[in-house]
Homo-oligomer: A and B are copies of this chain.
Amino acid sequence: MAEKPMWEQIGSGFVQHYYQQFDTDRVKLADLYTDASCLTWEGEGFQECACLQSLPFQTIQHIITAQDHHPTPDSCVMSMVMGQLKADQDQVMGFQQVFLLKNVDNKWVCTNDMFRLALHNFGA
């Protein structure tokens, strides 16, 4: 029997898969979204995850340091992730990201995705 609630398994499973995919072959991330998914990357909004492919780095590594998952009233799962990333030869940076996951046609997809580097916590 599962020890963790179902929504936590869904959220943490998605998070693990997402960053593994991001760090190895981020073109395939498109499978995790729908055409109507809403993405915000450093405050810039997109409605296509194609933007993830065109981000200005060759290699990236994510490390997750904390994650929280909630069930929502509309049977979605909301996940908040904190971690560190290293892109190419840049210095390690903190980041936070939020996903809203929804079951569409028996598959969990990401309908909303917001990403920010942690530097915003420390003002301009």
- Residue ranges of A at the interface with B (Cβ–Cβ < 8 Å): 36, 38, 40, 43, 63, 65-66, 68, 70-74, 76, 78, 80, 82-84, 94-96, 98, 100, 102, 111-112, 114, 116, 118, 120-124
Sample (8) of A-B pairs whose CB atoms are under 8 Å apart: A40-B70, A65-B124, A73-B111, A80-B98, A82-B116, A94-B121, A94-B122, A118-B121
CB distance from A101 to the nearest CB of B (A): 11
Closest to A121 in B: B94
CB of B70 within 8 A of CB of A122, answer no
Separation of A45 and B66 alpha carbons in the complex (Å)? 14
CB of A78 within 8 A of CB of B66, answer no
